[in-house]
Amino acid sequence: MGYVGAGTVEFLYDGREFYFLEMNTRLQVEHPVTEMITGLDLVEWQLRVADGEPLPLPQAQVTGRGTRSSAALRRGSRARFPAVHRAHRAAALPADREHVRVDTGVREGDEVSIHYDPMIAKVIAWGADRLEAFDRLRAALEATEVDGVRTNTRFLWEILGHEAVRAGDVSTRLLENGLPPSGATAADRATAWLVAAAAGAHSGSVPAQTPWGGRGGFRLNAAPSLRLPLRLGDERRWLNLRPAGPDLQVEIDGRVHLLEACTVADGRVSGRIDGAPFEARFEAVEEGFVLRRQCLRFDFCEDTGAEGHASAEHEGHLRSPMPGLVLDVRTQVGAVVESGAVLVVLEAMKMEHSLAAPWAGTVAAVAVSPVIA
């Protein structure tokens, strides 16, 4: 072909044979994978070859060590399409710089628009073996914070912890059949309430504007008790906190939980809930405080009794969060639909996307129609 320069070959390997897919006459975003295994700088090689120099090393002298795993951190999530937002925070990166590499061009305050690839960062982790690389990548994803933009961080974290993925027993059907819906589960939210109690009760430096400030909980002839009204999104709870020796009892929804060995230091809260260890990041903000745990963010505030505003979709509207071509409209005015029913199919970003009903109801209006080829 007469091509001289660095390139990337894509292929499939079934354990016996290689199946060629395509070649790109440039380095692609996967090149850090090779660099971390070989210790070579492929960008430097690309420039040298383009300037007419020979390859710095012959193939026989290129050696590798260990393995690596990489994840594409993108705007959007498994359940929602990419949308336009401004990154309020995109600078919190993993601390393990020896084994983890983050390549990103997004900085705090940048707008993540619809006009370019939705990738925010590539997170790559090295390990002596495959599972060590997975574990380090999961830890790196937990430590990576991007606020203001919905991302697929939790989805990636779930994939890396899936039994089939860790065993190497995967196929293109994995996401369709092997994973539950991504996002905070009921168990995640229940744990978040208890972690919130631990963070507040054991933090000696929480500002007074948080729900924990200035309330001693003194009781005459009884152990101190603290009753706190908190809100997490649309959920409201009363948390009753009582000392249990050096530990803490928390009553929530009529059930008592034991929080043991809880500490708050350097923005982290850790301990045990009913014997199970936990760790989360804790940050006081003006309205309350934020907990980050297992790639999820929980915004707590004191429940003043004020009603929150319903989101646009819960006012009865369903809008596409991204531009695209309408391929199919699978409903009509007057139709009774169940939650999860596909209403519209879009073509965008080289893929087909289904817009599903987020709740059951009756279709009052349809404002789009399919594109006629």
| pLDDT the model gives residue 88 | 55
pLDDT in tens, 65-107: 999 888 888 877 554 444 555 555 554 566 667 899 988 888 7
pTM here is 0.70
Q: Are 6 and 26 contacting, i.e. CB atoms less than 8 angstroms apart?
A: yes
Using only C-alpha atoms, the chain has a radius of gyration, in whole angstroms, of 25
**What b-and-e string marks burial along 133-147, b requiring 16 or more CB atoms within 10 Å of the CB?**
bbbbbbbbbbbbbbb
The Cα 155–Cα 244 span in angstroms is 37
Q: Which residues of 178-215 are buried (b: 16+ CB within 10 A; e: fewer)?
A: eeeebebeeeeeebbbbbbbbbbbbbeebeeebbbeee
Note the pLDDT of residue 216: 46
Among residues 31, 43, 13, which one has the least CA distance to residue 68? 31
Residues 217-237 pLDDT 10s: 444 444 556 777 788 887 888
What percentage of the chain carries pLDDT values higher than 90? 21
C-alpha–C-alpha distance, residues 12 and 22, integer Å:
10
Tell me: pLDDT of 18 over 90.
Answer: yes
| b/e map 343-352, b = 16+ CB within 10 Å | bbbbebbeee
**CA gap 348, 116 in Å, rounded:** 12
* 364 vs 355: CA distance, rounded Å: 16
242 with 224: CB under 8 angstroms?
yes
CATH code for 186-302? 3.30.700.30
- Taking only the tens place, the pLDDT of each residue in 334-364 is 999 998 889 999 888 778 888 888 778 899 9
User: What mean pLDDT is predicted for residues 292-296?
Assistant: 88
Which CA distances in Å does 189 have to 98, 201, 351?
33, 19, 32
CATH number of 323-373: 2.40.50.100
**What CATH code is assigned to 8-178?**
3.30.470.20
C-alpha–C-alpha distance, residues 257 and 248, integer Å: 8
Give the pairing type, strands 342-348 and 325-329.
antiparallel
Comparison of pLDDT for 345 and 210, the residue scoring more:
345
- Sorted by where each begins, the domain ranges of the chain are 8-178, 186-302, 323-373
**pLDDT-based confidence at residue 136 (cuts at 50, 70, 90):** very high
